[in-house]
């Protein structure tokens, strides 16, 4: 009698190992703590809400400006060396900023230090996506790649949203029970430990760095500007604007009702639903294509956003946020999946950091414009901006339906 040994099924969990997901999750926390932590310590030490807002924006601008270059460096030299340098550089900048803000240094130096925090921020989320996409496309059976990729993008988006809920919460605890500077010191420690561990994790070697004789990636930079990829960047930029405009206009909405501190809690109605439905995208049938998903879920988001013009009570606002949560999570997952599938060969990390930077730029721009509009023209005017942002994401989805991705732009 002959016996056949069962061959273990190749899964992403088996390829990466469960410690990877723990390390990658915690390694995202420092960035989620930085923006709120900077705001907290500046307001506390310099007694200026305006300067606090500007320093938070400076962190976002620094990340947006340097993110794609750090992604390109990861594609060129590998994630391990780039992330190891950034872990040390960013932890150092967090400590430097803390010392500067408590000194007698001029405000310009405070802003410069905040920009430095953003510029050296390790791009854990996009680099994790890039790393996992490479594992899926190069080491998994063809028949399971599509569903695994969809599930992975869903998990990554849900992880990002969860971190950005817990990050500010941790900042509040540390600032309240220890000192306003504690969140930044804590973020520096987490950066050294967990971003360093993420950089040194064996999965970093799974990222293929294919080069020509001169050491360059096989895909030219020009392939990053093909219509199929640019429309995804535009769509995700619209989602970023929506995040910034929605939270700021919601804060103004609750401020008029004398409960501005409840804005974050109410915003969570959309965030929780968004994260849950983002995870559910992995179980959608393959015949429900990415192009169709983008139009469908962005349409739900846009329809929900239009209802903001009719909202008068907190209860109505909660219902509208719940409706928009149905659309926002799956839209984001779909956009990241399309970005992954259209990444030029050897440029995966660059594309993921481009998409991440588009969200950050959109969020910062949306928050700044909405705050100014709310002060000058009131809440009703501010609530029109999330409608416009959702419209951008929806229209980009329609355009994407007619855009043909160039065959050379695919990873696999």
Q: What is the pLDDT of residue 7?
A: 42
Q: Over the stretch 212-226, which tens digit does the pLDDT of each residue have?
A: 444 455 566 667 778
The share of the chain scoring above pLDDT 90, in percent, equals 26
Domain match, 310 and 338 both: yes
Query: Based on the domain organization, do 313 and 354 belong to the same domain?
Result: yes
Domain-terminating residue out of 157, 179, 208: 208
Q: Identify the pLDDT of residue 219.
A: 62
Last residue of a domain, one of 185, 208, 231: 208
> What's the pLDDT score for residue 213?
43
Residues 274 and 136 placed together within one structural domain of the fold: no
pLDDT in tens, 57-90: 788 888 888 888 888 888 778 888 999 999 999 9
* pLDDT score recorded for residue 409: 43
Q: What is the pLDDT of residue 235?
A: 95
Predicted local confidence at residue 359, as pLDDT = 83
Residue 246: inside a domain: yes
191 within a domain of the structure (yes/no): yes
Q: Are residues 102 and 235 in the same domain?
A: no
**Which residues are within 8 A (CB) of 270 and not within 5 positions of it... i.e. 6 or more apart?**
246, 321, 322, 324, 325, 328
The verdict on 20 and 152 lying in the same domain is yes
Residue 2 within a domain:
no
Q: What is the pLDDT of residues 230-279, one digit of tens each?
A: 999 999 999 989 988 887 788 788 878 877 657 767 877 887 777 778 77
Q: Same domain for 280 and 154?
A: no
The reply to whether 9 falls in a domain is no
- Give me 290's structure tokens: 């990415």
| Domain shared by 187 and 258, yes or no | no
Q: Are residues 194 and 276 in the same domain?
A: no
Same domain, 250 and 325: yes
Same domain, 246 and 114: no
The answer to whether residue 279 is domain-embedded is yes
CATH number, domain containing residue 248: 1.20.1250.20
- pLDDT band of residue 131 (cuts 50, 70, 90) is confident
Quote the pLDDT of residue 6: 46
**How many of the other CB atoms lie within 10 Å of CB of 129?**
29
Is 214 part of a structural domain of the chain?
no
Does 1 fall in a domain? Answer: no
Residues spanned by the domain of 166: 16-208
pLDDT at 110: 92
Under the banding of pLDDT at 50, 70 and 90, the label for residue 163 is confident
Q: Does 156 lie in the same domain as 260?
A: no
What is the Cα–Cα distance from 325 to 278, expressed in whole angstroms? 9
* DSSP for residue 6: P
Alpha-helical (H) ranges within 257-313 are 263-280, 290-306
Give the confidence band of 206 by pLDDT, cuts at 50, 70, 90: low
406 within 8 A of 228, measured Cβ to Cβ: yes
Q: Which of 176, 208, 240 is the last residue of a domain?
A: 208
The structure's pTM equals: 0.74
pLDDT(190) > 80: yes
Residues 317 and 184 in one domain: no
Number of domains in the chain: 2
């Amino acid at each position: 009698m002959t016996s056949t040994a069962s061959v273990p099924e190749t899964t992403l969990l088996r390829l990466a190992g469960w410690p990877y997901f723990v390390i990658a999750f915690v390694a995202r926390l420092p960035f989620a703590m930085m923006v709120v932590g900077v705001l907290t310590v500046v307001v506390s030490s310099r007694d200026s809400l305006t300067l606090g807002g500007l320093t938070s924006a400076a962190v976002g601008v620094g990340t947006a400006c340097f993110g794609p270059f750090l992604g390109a460096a990861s594609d060129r030299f590998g994630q391990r060396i780039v992330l190891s340098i950034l872990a040390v550089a960013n932890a150092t900048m967090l400590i430097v900023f803390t010392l500067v803000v408590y000194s007698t240094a001029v405000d310009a130096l405070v802003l410069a230090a905040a920009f430095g925090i953003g510029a050296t921020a390790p791009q854990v989320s996009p680099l994790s996506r890039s790393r996992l996409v490479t594992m899926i496309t190069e080491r998994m059976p063809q028949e399971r790649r599509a569903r695994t990729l969809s599930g992975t993008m869903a998990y990554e988006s849900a992880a990002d949203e969860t971190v950005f809920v817990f990050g500010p919460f941790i900042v509040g605890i540390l600032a309240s029970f220890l000192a306003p500077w504690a969140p930044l010191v804590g973020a520096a420690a987490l950066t050294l430990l967990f971003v360093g561990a993420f950089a040194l994790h064996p999965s970093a070697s799974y990222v293929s760095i294919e080069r020509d004789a001169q050491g360059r990636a096989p895909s030219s930079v020009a392939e990053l500007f093909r219509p199929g990829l640019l429309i995804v960047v535009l769509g995700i930029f619209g989602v970023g604007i929506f995040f910034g405009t929605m939270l700021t206009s919601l804060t103004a909405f609750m401020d008029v009702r004398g409960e501005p501190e409840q804005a974050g809690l109410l915003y969570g109605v959309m965030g929780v639903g968004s994260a849950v439905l983002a995870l559910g995208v992995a179980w959608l049938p393959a015949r429900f294509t990415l192009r169709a998903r983008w139009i469908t879920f962005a349409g739900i988001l846009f329809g929900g956003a239009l209802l903001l013009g009719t909202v008068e009570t907190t209860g109505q606002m909660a219902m509208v946020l719940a409706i928009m949560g149905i659309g926002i999570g799956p839209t984001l997952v779909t956009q990241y999946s399309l970005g992954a599938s259209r990444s030029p060969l050897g440029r995966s990390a660059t594309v993921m950091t481009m998409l991440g930077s588009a969200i950050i730029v959109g969020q910062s721009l949306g928050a700044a414009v909405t705050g100014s509009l709310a002060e000058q023209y009131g809440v009703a005017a501010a609530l029109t901006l999330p409608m416009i942002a959702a419209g951008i994401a929806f229209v980009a989805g329609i355009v994407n339906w007619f855009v043909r991705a160039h065959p050379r732009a695919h990873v696999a």
